[in-house]
Amino acid sequence: MKPLDPRLIKHARAARSYIVLTAVLGVIMSVAVVFQALVVARLVGTLASGGELTAKALKNGLIILAVIVAVRVAVAWVQERFAHRAATNTIAELRGAVIRHVVALGPRFEAEGGAAKAAQLVTRGLDALDAYFARYLPQLLMVVTVTPILLVVAGFVDWVSAIIMFATIPLIPIFMILIGRLTEAYSARRLKTMAHLGAQVMDLITGLPTLKALGREHGPAGRVRELSQAHQKATFGTVKIAFLSGAALELIATLSVALVAVSVGLRLQAGHMALVDGLAIIMIAPEIYLPLRNVGAHFHASANGVAASNRVFDLLAVPAPADGTRAAPDLTKASIVFDNVSVQAPGRDYQAPTGLSFRLPPGSLMALTGPNGAGKSTAAAVLLGLTAPTEGRVLVEPGDGGEPIDLAQIDRRSWWEQIAWAPQRPVLLPGTVLENLLESYDGEAELTPEAEAAARAASFSEVVAELPSGWRTPVGQGGIGLSVGQRQRLALARVFLRGEPLVILDEPTAHLDAATEAQILESITELGRQGRTVLLVAHRPALVSQAHTSVAVESTAFSEATP
C-alpha cells in the first residue's frame, strides 16, 4: 500500500488542492515551531543562568509567544476544516466516477455480481477515506515538510543531537513498513468480507418477496450470520495489530527523544553546551518525531479507506465498451444486422448467444426465441450498446444507400434517443405512479390524454383504479408498493407513451395473466402498425405468434449438450 497513491490525485481534483494547502501549512508550522523553541529557550535560559532580562524584553518575548501560539492554533483549525471538506469532496468524486463507470460497463458487469459489490464500495467502503484525509494524509505531508526543516535547524543549533535524530528517525518508517504489510492484509480481508456480506444482503433483500412467497425467507439467515462473524473476526484482528504497532512506534519515538535528552544533559553537565541551545534542542526534538508518531497512530485508521480506494481504482481500470463518435442514423429507415454475434457468458466458459445472425428491417416485428440462458437478453443488451460482442459485429444500414455503420462507432446517447426499452426488471424511482410513467420527478407531473391512452394500452388503467391514491400513489425505491406484474405494465405504458422508432421488449408478458397478456399483445401489434420496429425477447408461444419473424438464439452450452 503506497503512502500517497498517485491514482488518487489523478481521479480526485479535490485531493490536489488539499495536498498543496497541507504542504504550505506544514512550512508555516515548521517556522512557528522553530521560533517558539528559540524564544522560549532564550527567555528561560537567560533567567535560569542568572542573566539580565529587561521587562521590555520579557514583554516582547511573551507577545511573540502569544502570536506563535495563535498561528499554530490557526494552522490546526484550517487543517482540520479543509481536511474534512477535502475528504467529502474526494469521496463524492470517487463515488461519481464509480457510478458512471458501472453504468458504462452495462448489464454484463451486473450479471457477474459487480453491481452489488460496487454499491457496497460507494457506501460503506469509501466512508473510511475520511480518516485518511482528516488524520493520516496531513501527518504524512508534515513528515516531508516539518521534519526535514526542523532537522536542518537542529543541525545548526547542535550537530551532535541532529546526528542522533538523523540516525533514529529511519527506525520509525522501517517498523511502519513491517507492520503495514501485515495491516494491509487484514484490511484487505476485512473489506473483502464486507463487500461479500453487502452483496449477499442486497441479493437477499432483492429476492425477499420471492423467498417469502416460497416460504424460505428464514433460509439465508445462517449464511448471513456466518458472514457477520467473519467480518467481526477480521475487524478485531485489525484492531489488535493497530494496538501492537502503535505501542511499538511510541516506544521507538520515546527512546529516540530520550537519547537526545540524555546527550544534551550530559554535555550541559560537563559545560560543553550552552543552556539556551540545550533547551532549544529539547523542545525541537519532540516536534521532529511528532509527525512520524502521528502517521503511525493514524495509519491503521486510514488503512480501510486506502484499501477501498484501491478497489475503486481496480474497478475503474476495468475496460468499458468503447463509445463511438458518429451520430446514429434515422432508425425509421435503417435496418439492423447482427453479423455472427457471439458473447462470452459472464463467469462461464461458453458463449451465449453464439453465432447469432439476423436482419431487422424498419417497421418489422421480430421475436428472439430460445431456452433460458441462451442469450436472448444479452442479444438485446448488445443491440442497446450496453454489451460489446466477443465475436462478430452489429451493423446499421442507413436505408439511404449509405455504407453500413458498425454500432461500436455510433455515439450511444444519439443511439439511445431513438430506442424505447422495457427490461425484465424495470427501473422505478421514488415518486408517484404518474411521475414514473412520465419520467418527470419535479412534482409538477400532470396526466395527459396521451398518458391515459398509453396506460390503457398496457392494461395499467385497471391497476391505477385499484391504487389507494390513483395516479398520485407513492412508489418506493425499486417500485416498492407495486407488484412485479404492475411494475411491468407501468414499464410497458412508458414504451407505448414514447415515440421512439425502435422498441425492445424483454419478456413483456412474463408476469401477466392470460386476459392481460391478450390485451398487451394487441398493443404490441399496434406498435407495428404505427411503423415502429419492435424486437421481442419472447418465451411464451402467444407472444412469438404475434411476431412477423422469429430467430432462434443458441449458446455453445446448449449446442454442445445436444447430441
| Helix count and strand count (H, E) for the chain | 22, 11
Name the residue with cell 392481460.
516
Q: Are residues 303 and 404 in the same domain?
A: no
Nearest 10 degrees: CA dihedral of 34, 38, 40, 42?
Answer: 180
Q: How many CB atoms lie within 10 A of CB 212?
A: 11
Distance between CA atoms of residues 527 and 532, nearest Å? 6
pLDDT band at 358 (very low <50, low <70, confident <90, very high): very high
Q: Are residues 354 and 258 in the same domain?
A: no
Question: What pLDDT is stored for residue 153 in this prediction?
Answer: 85
pLDDT band at 115 (very low <50, low <70, confident <90, very high): low
Distance between CA atoms of residues 285 and 155, nearest Å? 11
The enclosing domain of 300 has a CATH number of: 1.20.1560.10
Residue 177 lies in a domain: yes
Q: How many domains does the chain have?
A: 2
pLDDT (average), residues 329-353: 85
In angstroms, what CA-CA distances link 468 with 45, 429, 435?
A: 84, 19, 16
pLDDT per residue as tens digits for the range 212-242: 766 776 766 776 677 667 667 666 666 666 6
Residue 360 lies in a domain: yes
Q: Are residues 482 and 363 in the same domain?
A: yes
Question: What pLDDT is stored for residue 341 in this prediction?
Answer: 92
DSSP class of 217: T
Residue 329 lies in a domain: no
**Beta bridge pairs of residue 537:** 368, 506
Q: Are residues 230 and 345 in the same domain?
A: no
Cβ atoms of 64 and 39 within 8 Å: the answer is yes
Per the prediction, the chain carries an average pLDDT of 79
The residue from 316, 343, 369 where one domain ends is 316
Question: What pLDDT is stored for residue 339 in this prediction?
Answer: 92
Cα 82–chain centre separation: 22
Question: What pLDDT is stored for residue 555 in this prediction?
Answer: 83
pLDDT per residue as tens digits for the range 268-319: 888 888 888 888 888 888 888 888 777 766 766 666 677 777 778 888 877 7
pLDDT band at 199 (very low <50, low <70, confident <90, very high): low
Residue 325 lies in a domain: no
The type of residue at 114 is G
The residue from 288, 316, 344 where one domain ends is 316
Name the grid cell of 498.
Answer: 414514447
Contacts of 442 (CB under 8 A, 6+ apart): none
The enclosing domain of 426 has a CATH number of: 3.40.50.300
Residue 223 domain boundaries: 6-316
Q: Are residues 548 and 478 in the same domain?
A: yes
> Higher confidence at residue 437 or residue 298?
437
pLDDT (average), residues 448-475: 87
Which spans in 52-170 are helix H? 55-105, 107-111, 114-120, 126-127, 129-131, 137-157, 159-168
The residue from 253, 285, 316 where one domain ends is 316
Question: What pLDDT is stored for residue 360 in this prediction?
Answer: 92
Residue 61 lies in a domain: yes
Distance between CA atoms of residues 96 and 104, nearest Å? 12
Residue 462 lies in a domain: yes
